[in-house]
Every structure is written in C-alpha cells, then in structure tokens.
Structure 1
Amino acid sequence: MATLINDRIDVRISKEQKELIKYASSLKGFKSLSEFIVYCVSSEANKIIMENETILKTIEDKKIFVDAILNPPTPGEGLKKAQEAALKLKINGI
C-alpha cells in the first residue's frame, strides 16, 4: 500500500551530515533517504511524546506516590468542610 504524501519539510544540512545519513539509510536498507528520515524522525517523536506523557517519571516520583497511598495525610479543614457539604447534598437528594 502506497503512502500518501501531502506535506513537505525542507531542511538544510551540511554535506557531511547528508553523507552520514545516506550511509546509515543504506545500512538499514531503506529505499530512499526521505523514507529513512521520516522513519527516524517519527520514531524519535514518538519516544519524546511517550517520555513526556509518563506521569511517574523517576523512582523518586514512584516512591512519593506509593507513600501517599500507603500513608495518606490526615484531611485538612477544607476537605472536611467539602465532605460535610457533599453529605448534606446527598441527604437532601441533590
């Protein structure tokens, strides 16, 4: 199935960079330099997105999260008032 091409990106690179990219492309067996570049850029973009969408990125983040679940802090006054207000609404059928 052919890929539909409907947009273009122009990039200026040095001759050395182009030769390096062409060599890597040929080693991987890509049919064209464009195909190789699109593959590499898409792969890297997906990695970056996945890394940035991860909520608990570090071990420290995970420790803090687990500690909060296992040892929850006592409710503050604001939370207690909100709970009371919610209970009143529930009792009144709202």
Structure 2
Amino acid sequence: MATLINDRIDVRISKEQKELIKYASSLRGFKSLSEFIVYCANVEASKIIMDNEQILKTIEDKKIFLNALLNPPVPGEGLKKAHIAYLKHNFDETEN
C-alpha cells in the first residue's frame, strides 16, 4: 500500500486575498481552504503543462524553435514580394 506523504507550502497573502479565496472556496463547497487551494493549484499547473506540451512537445522541438529565433533564415523572394505588397497596401491606405 502506498504511503501518503503530506508536504507543506507556506504562503503569505494579504487579509483581503485570504477573504476572497475563502469566499470562493465556500461558493464551490470545499471542506477547507487548503483543499480549495490545492485543487486550484493542481488545475492551473495541469493547464500550464498542457499548454507548454502542445506548443513545443519535445526538447528537440524547443531547440529547433530557439535556433530559428536566434538564426532566422534569409527571406526568400516570395517573402520579399509579400513585404513590398504589404508596405504598398499600408501606404495606399494612409493616403485616403
């Protein structure tokens, strides 16, 4: 049987923050403030991890992305033409 280990996190917050969190906790029917805080922290941590994994799943993806930022390729002819068309379009709109 697995042993449950209770670890501790100490957080200092203002009285107003505590009252707000207590009120939200009671609206959702949590038994304790600690239970509510642990639940919210787990939900938010899971969202952050999922968002991170969806964008750049692997370390290799992160390396490729970072390399593209630090060493961008030279613009090709299509991109140069698109840039000129964009500038021309914006210039034409400012004259009207």
Match of residue 33 from structure 2 = 33
- Runs of 4+ in structure 1 over 6 Å off: none
Match of residue 18 from structure 2 = 18
Larger Rg, first or second structure (1 or 2): 1
What percent identity do the matched residue pairs reach?
A: 87
Match of residue 85 from structure 2 = none
Mapped to 2, the partners of 1:5 and 1:33 lie a distance apart of 19
CA positional deviation for 1:55:
3.4
Q: Structure 2: 5+ residue runs without aligned partners?
A: 57-96
1:22-61 Cα shifts (integer Å, max 9, x gaps): 00000000000000000000000000000000137xxxxx
TM-score by length of structure 2 reads: 0.52
Mapped to 2, the partners of 1:50 and 1:42 lie a distance apart of 12
1:43-90 Cα shifts (integer Å, max 9, x gaps): 00000000000137xxxxxxxxxxxxxxxxxxxxxxxxxxxxxxxxxx
CA positional deviation for 1:6:
1.9
Q: Which protein has the bigger helix share? A: 2
CA positional deviation for 1:5:
4.4
Match of residue 8 from structure 2 = 8
SS of alignment partner, residue 54 of structure 1: helix
TM-score by length of structure 1 reads: 0.54
